[in-house]
Chain A
C-alpha cells in the first residue's frame, strides 16, 4: 500500500473501549462492597447477553464477528445498563434490556459507529417505561437494610424472585433519595425533615455517594489517559450544579443543594461514562459543551418536575437527537477563514 502517513500512533478502538471498562471498575467494586454481590450477577448476565446478541446480529448482517466482538463496545453497553438498573431486578430484565440495546439501538442502525442513540440509555429508557415498578425498586445499602442478603440469597432472588422465608422484599428495598425527595416534597414535608431520613448520606444518598466518588476516580483516569476530554463532564456537571444552585438559592426549602444533585443518581456515571460515548455524541468541542450542558439541564428538570426519579437517560437520548444540529452549528473556524 502506497499511502501516507506511513506511521500512526493511535490507541486502537479496542484499547479505548477497554480503558473505559477499566475506568468503571472502581465504581463496580464499591458497588458490590456496599450493596452485595448481586451487581456482579447482573453484570455477568448483561455481558453474556451483549456478546451473544452482538455475535448473532453480526452473523445475520454478514459481518465479520471477531473484530467487532473484540472491540469491547458491546460490553460497555452491557455494563452501563447493568449499573443503571436495580441490581436485584429479575434476571430477564437485564437480558431483555441488553438485547434490546444491542439489537435495536445498535445493530439495526448499522453497528459500531452508526448508532445515533446511546444504546445503553435506549435500553434503560425502554425498561423504565415498560417495567416502572421493578425499575424503581432499589435495594437499600447493606448497612441500612433491615435484613442483609447474602450473595447466594441475591443470586436466588435474581433468578427465582424468591427470598428466604423470613425476609420480605420491603425489608430489602427502599426508595432512592431522588425518589424519596420528590414524593416527600409533594407531601409538603420540609427539606430538613426529608434529608434527615437514613437513606441520605453526607451530600447524596448513603452508600451511593461512595460509588459516585469511585466513578469520579474512574473518570479522572479516563481524562488522564486521554480517552475523554474535559468538555463533556465539566459542562454536564457544571450545568447541573448551576441550575440546581440557582433553584436552591431561590428556595432552599423546596430544592435540594447542587452537591446533592451532583452526588445522586447517575450524575457522575453520566458525566464520565454515558455522555462520553463518542459515537452518539457531537464531535466539535463547542458542540460537546452545548450537548453536555443541555443534558445537565434536562436531567435536573426531569428529576425535579418529571415523572421519573432520574433524568440522565432521557436527557442523553434527547440530546442525541440534537447532535446533527449541534455539529452543524458549531463548526470551528477553519484556519485562514477569518471573517
Chain B
C-alpha cells in the first residue's frame, strides 16, 4: 500500500535496517503535540490509584482509610513475581479504598486507593543506590519496590524483564520507534531528557549484562534523533533510524528491523539473547536508582480535539479531566476519549478515569477526527490485508474461519501470531472489523481450551469413580461366588431340574437381591444429618448427573438393581442350560438310531435348532434384558417383574421420604 512512501523512507537514511513484510503508514498527526515542551499540571484535588495498572497480580494494599501518606510512600506492595508496587504520588490522606471507574475497555470499576493531597508534596526519605557499583542482584531485588512497569503501554513489571533466567542477554534494544500516530511522549522525553535516558540505558545494560545496545527511532522524529545522537556521542550505543512504518514499534518487528533477527514465534526475545526496553522505562529505572524515586508519574500526550495539544508529566491517579483542562480544554464537538493511539487504543468508558502507568496518550476524539466506520461489505478477497500484515498472516482467511467459528482452522493459520495491530482493518475496502473477529476467535479458543481442560479433569474423576465401582462390584462378586458355591453343590445333584427347582432358584435369587439391596441401602453416615446447603449441593449434583445422562439413578440404586437382575439372570441361565442339556441328550439318543424316517429326522433337526437357539439366547442374556427372556413362562416373568417393581417402589418411597424429611 505504502510502497512509495516506504521506498522514500528507505532512501532517506535507513539503509542498514531489515524491512519486515507489510505495515502501513497512517497520517502521523504528531506535530500538534510537539509544539510545547513537557508541561506540568497543578496538583489535582484527588488522586485515584487503581491497583491494577500492570500485567499480573493485584498488589496488596498497605494503607487504611484515614492514613496520612508521604510522597513516594508504598501504599500497595507487589504480590508475587509478576506484580508491581504502587506508591503515593504526593503527600496527603488516604480518603477512600474501594471500587472506582478505571481506564479499561470493559468499563468495569476496579479496586482503587484514593488519596486527597495535602498540597505539601513532602517526600518520604529517599534511598538512592549507586547503580554503577552495587551488586546487580541487590539492584534487581530492590526493583520489587520500585513500581516500575514497561511504559510503552504493555505495563509488564520491569523487574521480571531484568531477571532473564538461563539465557544471557547480549543485546539491549531501546524502543524509541513510537510508531502509533498522535503519540509523542517518547519523542518529547528524548528531546528533553536525553542525558538521563542514556544513563538509564547504562543502568539497564549493566543489570542485563548486555554488551550491545541499539536504539531504534523512526525517521519522523528528527529533533529526538539529533538530541539522542549528541547524548550517545561518547558511548558505544548504536542508534539506528527506522522507516516510519506502523507497527515498527512492536518489539518483535523492531528487533527484526534493527538486528535482522526474527524472534521465533514460540519464544521470547530474551530466549535469543535480546531484551527490549522502552525509552521511558529506562528513564524510570535511572531515576529510581539515582534519586530513589519510585514510579509516581509519567509523560502523557494529550492530543486530538483539544485546544492546545501538549505532553504533560502527570502524576498517576490524576483525573483525565485535569489533563484535558491543562491542554486548554476539549473542543465543543468532542465525542469521547481514546487511550493509546488510533490504531490500537480503546475508548475510555468515562471522562472521570484516572491516568495510569499504561496511559501513554489520550486523544480527544470527534466525529471529524475519527469518522464513524461505514457498514461492512462482503470481503472481496482483495488481499490488501495480507499485504499490510506485519506478521505475514492471511487476514482474509482468518476472518473467514473466525466468522464461521472454524477455530481449529484459525489456529492452524496461526491466529495466535496476530498482534492485533489493526493494519488489516486499516486497509480493508469492505470496512470489516477484522481485529474484532480475531479477538473473538482468540477468546473463544481460549475458553474452549479451558472447557476441554475442565472436561478432562471431570473425565479423570469419572474414570476413577467407575474404577472404584468396578472394584467394589468385584469384591461383592467374590463374596457372592463363595456363597453360590454351596448352592451349586446342591444343584448338581439333580440331573433334570424340575419347575419346582427353577422356582426355588428364582426365589433364592430374589431373596439374595433383596438382601443385597437392603445391605446397599444402609446409608453412609456422611449423608445423614446434612445441613441444608450440603443437601442442596448434593441434590444439585444429582440433578446435574441426571441431566448429563451420566446416570438415571444414584449409583447405589443402580448397583442394587443390577445385582438383582444379575441374580435373576444367573438363575435363568442355569435352568435354561439344564433344559438345553436334556434336549440335546434326547436328540443325541435319537440320532444314534441307524434308520430314521424323514419325519423323525426333521423333528430331530428342529430339536437341535431349538436347543441351539435356546443356548444362544442363554449366552446372550445380559443383566439388563430381563423382559425379553422368552423361556421363562409368563407367570414366572410376571412374578419377577412384580418383585422388581415392588423393590423399585420401596426404594423410591424411601428416597422420597428421606427428601421430605425436615432438614436440620
A278-B1 contact, Cβ under 8 Å, with A6-B342, A67-B375: no
Q: How far is the CB of A272 from chain B (nearest CB, A)?
A: 15
Binary contact readout A296-339 vs B (1 if CB under 8 angstroms, 0 otherwise):
00000000000000000000000000000001000111111110
Return the chain B residue nearest A338 by Cβ.
B262
Is the beta-carbon distance between B345 and A331 smaller than 8 angstroms?
no
**Residues of A close to B266: CB separation below 8 A:** 336
Q: Which residue of A lies closest to B382 (CB)?
A: A278
Do B426 and A8 have beta carbons less than 8 Å apart?
A: yes
Residues of A within 8 A of B379 (CB): 113
Docked CA distance A5–B26 (Å): 11
B414 and A279 form a contact (CB under 8 A): no
**Bound form: Cα–Cα A112–B378 in Å:** 7
- B648 sits at the interface (CB 8 A): no
Whose C-beta in chain B lies nearest to the C-beta of A328? B397
A71 within 8 A of B: yes
Which residues of chain A are within 8 angstroms of B433 by Cβ–Cβ distance?
3
Binds B, one of A11-19, A177-185, A214-222, A262-270: A11-19
Q: Which residue of A lies closest to B377 (CB)?
A: A13
A283 close to B397 (CB less than 8 A): yes
CA distance A193 to B414 in the complex (A): 60
Known: A1-B372, A5-B422. A284 touches B394 (CB 8 A): yes
CB pair B382–A334 under 8 Å, yes or no, is no
Given known contacts A226-B1, A336-B417, is B431 in contact with A8 (CB within 8 Å)?
yes
Residue numbers in B under 8 Å from A278 (CB-CB): 380-383
Contacts of B374 in A (CB 8 A): 12
A13 in contact with B429 given A5-B435, A337-B265, A338-B264 (CB within 8 Å): yes
A188 within 8 A of B: no
Provided the pairs A8-B431, A10-B426 are in contact, do residues A3 and B383 lie with their beta carbons within 8 angstroms? no
Instruction: Evaluate contact between B435 and A4: CB separation under 8 angstroms.
Output: yes
Interface residue? A114 (CB, 8 A):
yes
B365 within 8 A of A: yes
Within 8 Å of chain A (Cβ to Cβ): is B21? yes
A114 and B378: CB pair below 8 A? yes
- Given the complex of chains A and B, what is the CA–CA distance between A7 and B21 in angstroms? 21
The answer on a CB contact under 8 Å between A281 and B381 is yes
In the bound assembly, the distance between CA atoms of A338 and B425 in angstroms comes to: 26
Q: Which of B345, B391, B393, B428 contacts A8 (CB 8 A)?
A: B428
Hey, what's the 0/1 contact readout for B281-323 against A, CB within 8 Å counting as 1? 0000000000000000000000000000000000000000000
Interface string of A181-212 (1 = CB under 8 A from B): 00000000000000000000000000000000
Closest chain B CB from A258 CB (angstroms): 29
In the assembled complex, A9 has its CB within 8 A of some CB on chain B: yes
Most buried by B among A3, A5, A13, A284: A5
A2 within 8 A of B: yes
B417: contacting residue among A10, A113, A335, CB under 8 A: A335
Q: Does A111 contact B (CB under 8 A)?
A: yes
Q: How far is the CA of A199 from the CA of B384 in the complex (A)?
A: 42
Interface centre among B374, B381, B397, B435 (most CB of A within 10 A): B381
CA distance A1 to B346 in the complex (A): 10
B373 within 8 A of A: yes
Q: How far, in Å, is A240 (CB) from chain B's closest CB?
A: 24
Q: Nearest Cβ distance between residue A58 and chain B, in whole angstroms?
A: 12
| Contact with A283, one of B264, B372, B386 (Cβ below 8 angstroms) | B386
Given contacts A4-B435, A71-B377, A336-B263, contact A9 B26 (CB under 8 A): yes
Most buried by B among A2, A12, A226: A2
Other-chain residue from B343, B387, B392 in contact with A7 (beta carbon distance below 8 A): B343
**Interchain CA distance A112-B380 in the complex, whole Å:** 7
Closest CB in chain B relative to A3 CB, distance in Å: 5
Contacts of B383 in A (CB 8 A): 278, 283-284
Cβ of B162 under 8 Å from chain A: no
With A and B bound together, what is the CA distance between A279 and B382 in angstroms? 7
- The reply to whether B377 and A9 contact each other, CB–CB distance below 8 Å, is no
Cα(A2)–Cα(B390), bound, Å: 23
Q: Shortest beta-carbon distance, A331 to chain B, in Å?
A: 7
Shortest CB-to-CB span from A113 to chain B, Å, is 3
CA distance A114 to B404 in the complex (A): 14
Asked if A283 and B380 sit within 8 Å, CB to CB, the answer is no
B464 within 8 A of A: no
Contacts A6-B338, A10-B426: A335 and B377 contacting too (C-beta < 8 A)? Answer: no
B427 contacts the other chain (Cβ, under 8 Å)? Answer: yes
Asked if residues A331 and B413 are in contact (CB atoms below 8 Å), the reply is yes
A residues in contact with B26, CB < 8 Å: 7, 9
Chain A 45-85 interface mask (CB, 8 Å, partner B; 1/0): 00000000000000000000001000101000000000000
Q: Is B328 an interface residue (CB 8 A)?
A: no
Q: How near does chain B come to A67, taking the closest CB pair, in angstroms?
A: 7
CB distance from A232 to the nearest CB of B (A): 11
CB distance from B434 to the nearest CB of A (A): 10
Which positions 334-361 of chain B face chain A at CB distance < 8 Å?
338, 340, 342-347
Are the CB atoms of B343 and A332 closer together than 8 Å? no
Q: Do B427 and A7 have beta carbons less than 8 Å apart?
A: no
A67 lies within 8 A of B377 (CB):
yes
A7 touches B265 (CB 8 A): no
Interface string of A105-124 (1 = CB under 8 A from B): 00000011110000000000
With A13-B430, A337-B414 as given contacts, are A113 and B380 in contact (CB-CB < 8 Å)? yes
Q: Could you say which residues of chain B place their CB within 8 Å of the CB of A9? A: 24, 26-27, 426-427
On whether A334 and B381 interact (CB within 8 A), knowing A7-B181, A7-B342, A8-B373, the answer reads no
Residue of A nearest to B417 (CB): A334
Report the separation of the CA atoms of residues A220 and B105 in the bound assembly, to the nearest whole angstrom.
Answer: 45
* A6–B394 CB distance below 8 A: no
Q: In the complex the two chains form, what is the Cα distance from A29 to B252 in whole Å?
A: 52
Taking a contact as CB atoms under 8 Å apart, the answer to whether A4 and B422 are in contact is yes
A284 to chain B, nearest CB (A): 7
- CB of B551 within 8 A of chain A? no
C-alpha spacing A291/B392, complex, angstroms = 20
The B63-107 residues at the A interface (CB cut-off 8 A) are 105
Whole-angstrom distance from the CB of B340 to the nearest CB of chain A? 8
A156 shortest CB reach to chain B, Å:
40
B375 CB, min distance to chain A CBs, angstroms: 7
Interface residues of A in 221-279 (CB under 8 A from B): 226, 229, 278-279
State A71–B430 Cα separation when bound (angstroms).
11
- Find chain A residues with CB under 8 A from B347 CB: 2
The answer to the question of B20 belonging to the interface, with a C-beta cut-off of 8 Å to chain A, is: yes
Task: Known A67-B377, A335-B262; judge A6-B345 contact (CB<8 A).
Answer: yes
Contacts of A279 in B (CB 8 A): 380-381
* 7 A-B contacts (beta carbon < 8 Å): A1-B372, A5-B435, A6-B342, A6-B345, A229-B387, A336-B417, A337-B265
Given contacts A331-B394, A334-B391, 17 further A-B contacts (CB under 8 A): A3-B435, A4-B343, A4-B345, A6-B370, A7-B26, A7-B343, A7-B370, A10-B426, A12-B377, A13-B429, A16-B382, A112-B380, A283-B386, A335-B392, A336-B252, A336-B262, A337-B265
A contact set with B: CB distance below 8 Å: 1-13, 15-16, 67, 71, 73, 111-114, 226, 229, 278-279, 281, 283-284, 327, 331-338
